[in-house]
Structure 1
């Protein structure tokens, strides 16, 4: 049902590759997020929580550099372990603290020089305005539904994003004490669609509908990806997943396990549903910042 739509949406949807280095851990953690382009100028949108990572990368690197500068001063001191612990407390360095990140915007521009980020004042939405040189590597911009109210409960919609970070083109550079990209390994992260039906609109504390709830979850890495119909018309942007307690709790329930023995199990099931910022919220945000975008009349499904 969404085959042609996915091909169309893939022309303006792109992955953001993110590698993360954690304090006192040797392993580099790969991840991904999603953005999509809204005009031929190279303006794109994604989630605010994704844009935060981009904005904060310099501050994280500088913080770690200051810590290491102080640490090198006490490296050969007799009380090295004690002094290191004091520095770790001072700089809030503990197991799992992010000390470095790198980003790669895949198939967006031949050369990227700068990114300007504008946050929505209330919702998990951000505008990315790219400055680059050379050829733009996306084929077409998104087209938004003209009237977001057409996303009624029961309507089938799909999301596209990059939840599975399968690329391996990164390494730790011991000479620089930093992580970096390389061009000799797999650089591809496959896109992944997930469809569902609209269940309801979600309103904020003022009663304003701002998001579409979907019957299926959005996956980590799909944040910032488009929500679209069978023609590829965009109805919103994947933001998050809600976990709704279903109330079918079982505590110490007696069951057969593997057909060989009985055991006591407990289960507290949740329904995982996707939350997508609506196209109407996105369009109003773009209008406020005089950003060009395109709309398309909603595809009228054959109800016969």
Structure 2
């Protein structure tokens, strides 16, 4: 149903690969997100929560560097455990705290000087502008739905993104005590479509701002396009909501593999939430970004 549309969407939809390190660990956690380009000028859109990971990367690392500098200064002090605890409190470091984030924009442009980011004040939406590139590595760009009266409950739509971070081109460098990208290993992650139907239009202050889908958006699909069978963009995957169904089971005996087992179950329906196309187009207009409609 969406075979031809995916072939039209894929050339301008790109993954953002990320590697992160947590405080006190050398293990590397890979992750991915999605963005898509809206014109030939190096302008793309993604989720605000994805853009925040990009903009906060330097501050996260600088906080860790400041901590390391102070830790070295007290390394030979008596009661080092007390000093370390004080520094961890000062720099808000816990075992789950991010201390390093590195991002890689895959097949977006050949080189770039900077990426400027505009974040929507209320919606999970951001504009990325690549500056200083020589040529684009994406092919074509999005065409947004002009007649948004077609955004109706029951319409079948699809999302495309990169939820599975299968890339392996990274390592921990013990010499520098840092994580880094390498030229070895897999550099790509598989694209992954997921379809569904529109179940509700979500509003804020009387204005439609989001589209609810009958199927969840997967984590790395955040920032990916929502489109119809013609490849027209209806919105952007943003979040997954968990609706409690109320069919709860508590301490019920059921037969499992030939044995009576006591189980409890609290079912939820996972539905996708997408930024509405009108919100995206309005924000692009406000920021002076060219886009196309069809």
Tell me the TM-score range normalised by the shorter chain: over 0.9
TM-score w.r.t. length of structure 1: 0.95
Deviation, 1:118, is: 0.4
Deviation, 1:81, is: 1.6
- Tell me which of 259, 284, 289 is aligned to 1:286: 284
The separation in 2 between residues aligned to 1:253 and 1:277, in whole angstroms, is: 40
2:216 aligns with 217
Show structure 1 runs of 4+ deviating over 6 A: none
Which region of structure 1 is more displaced relative to structure 2, 132-141 or 2-11? 132-141
The separation in 1 between residues aligned to 2:265 and 2:30, in whole angstroms, is: 31
Q: Tell me the alpha carbon deviations over residues 26-64 of structure 1, each in whole angstroms, 9 at most, x when there is no partner.
A: 210000000000000010000000000111111101100
Deviation, 1:108, is: 0.4
Deviation, 1:112, is: 1.9
Deviation, 1:79, is: 1.6
The separation in 2 between residues aligned to 1:76 and 1:33, in whole angstroms, is: 43
Are residues 1:178 and 2:182 paired?
A: no
Give unpaired runs (5+ residues) of structure 2: none
The separation in 2 between residues aligned to 1:275 and 1:149, in whole angstroms, is: 18
TM-score w.r.t. length of structure 2: 0.98
The separation in 2 between residues aligned to 1:164 and 1:214, in whole angstroms, is: 21
The separation in 1 between residues aligned to 2:155 and 2:222, in whole angstroms, is: 21
The separation in 2 between residues aligned to 1:193 and 1:219, in whole angstroms, is: 10
1:300 aligns with none
Alignment of 1:237-276 (within 5 A): 237-258=236-257, 260-276=258-274
2:62 aligns with 62
Q: Tell me the alpha carbon deviations over residues 227-255 of structure 1, each in whole angstroms, 9 at most, x when there is no partner.
A: 00011110000000010011101111110
Aligned residues: 294
Q: Tell me the alpha carbon deviations over residues 261-283 of structure 1, each in whole angstroms, 9 at most, x when there is no partner.
A: 10111101000000000111100
Deviation, 1:82, is: 1.7
1:141 aligns with 141
The separation in 2 between residues aligned to 1:44 and 1:97, in whole angstroms, is: 29
Alignment of 1:108-119 (within 5 A): 108-119=108-119
The separation in 2 between residues aligned to 1:133 and 1:52, in whole angstroms, is: 22
Which region of structure 1 is more displaced relative to structure 2, 11-20 or 144-153? 144-153
The separation in 1 between residues aligned to 2:44 and 2:135, in whole angstroms, is: 16
Q: Is the 8 Å Cα contact of residues 109 and 132 (structure 1) preserved in structure 2?
A: no
2:98 aligns with 98
The separation in 2 between residues aligned to 1:112 and 1:158, in whole angstroms, is: 31
Deviation, 1:74, is: 1.2
2:79 aligns with 79
Give the superposed CA RMSD: 0.8
Are residues 1:277 and 2:271 paired?
A: no
Deviation, 1:101, is: 0.4
Deviation, 1:149, is: 2.4
Alignment of 1:185-200 (within 5 A): 185-200=185-200
1:302 aligns with none
Are residues 1:26 and 2:26 paired?
A: yes
SS in 1 for 2:40: coil
